Structure 1
Amino acid sequence: MNLQQANEFIQDVLISIHANIRDLEEKKAFADAEEQDYIDGRLFSYLEILAILRASARDTDIDPKSIGL
């Protein structure tokens, strides 16, 4: 895998994560209480993944914003 492929891979993953978060937030507006708990759990997981990626980026001297975080 070359650098361009790695960058494209990272961008694709981040786009998917952000799209899933938006989708879950939209679904939450129409969900019943039980579904909202499930959605909240999934949202928490996605947000935790983003937090880990941001921390890892900073630890490796990458500006999180430069890669879509």
Structure 2
Amino acid sequence: MKNGEAAYVQFLQDVMITIHENIRELKERKGFAETDELTYIEAKLITYHEVLAMLRMSADEFGINRREIGL
């Protein structure tokens, strides 16, 4: 892997870690959230999952190993 490619992989892995951490945090918050906050949490969870789906689809289209970038 070229130096630039390694930087891209590291960048994508960092983004994936952050997204997965945010999803985990939101799922935990959901357990003790008030009713009015639940809609907000659900919307954010849906958005994060949509972003992950887009990244998976793009990775497949470009022949990028999902595991390598944290998908």
Name the structure, 1 or 2, with higher relative contact order (CA <8 Å, separation 6+).
2
Tell me: CA distance 1:2–1:63, structure 2 relative to 1, closer, same or farther (3 Å): closer
Alignment of 1:24 with 2:34, yes or no, is no
Alignment of 1:58 with 2:55, yes or no, is no
Q: TM-score, normalised by structure 2?
A: 0.89
**Which residue of structure 1 aligns with residue 40 of structure 2?**
38
Name stretches of at least 5 consecutive residues in structure 1 with no aligned partner: none
Aligned residues: 69
Q: TM-score, normalised by structure 1?
A: 0.92
**Which residue of structure 1 aligns with residue 49 of structure 2?**
47
- Percent pairwise identity: 45
Give structure 1 regions of 4+ aligned residues with deviation exceeding 6 angstroms: none
Name stretches of at least 5 consecutive residues in structure 2 with no aligned partner: none
